[in-house]
Amino acid sequence: MDAGHTTEPRGIEIGGYDGDVATESLQKLLNEAFPDATELFVVDRTGGGDHFQVTVTSPRFEGLSLVDQHRLVYDALAAPLSDGTIHELRIKTKGTA
């Protein structure tokens, strides 16, 4: 695994033309934010590395409104959202109950 190699945000390219690299870096951020997720995947919707569909199922969402569930995802992806890596983000969240 990549533990210990995280000082450089590996593979984040501003304007990201490499869809796979961008998808991987989002996946990594989400894995760190939701270590107990039972389902977690990122899809590059257009192949352009900037329109993503994120799906997360986690016990952390139990009892939270959808707004608060999505806020947790936005928090995890704050950096790529603010630097323009993510142009469009679709989110699907679920609790595990």
Q: Which of 70, 76, 84, 85 forms a contact with other proteins (CB under 8 A)?
A: 70
Q: Alpha-carbon torsion 89, 47, 33, 29, what sign?
A: negative
Per CB under 8 A, 67 contacts other proteins:
yes
Per CB under 8 A, 72 contacts other proteins:
no
Q: Residue 1 is inside which H or E element, if any?
A: none
Q: How far apart are CA 29 and CA 2, in angstroms?
A: 12
Per CB under 8 A, 74 contacts other proteins:
yes
Binding site for other proteins (CB under 8 A): 66-67, 70-71, 74, 78, 81-82, 88-92
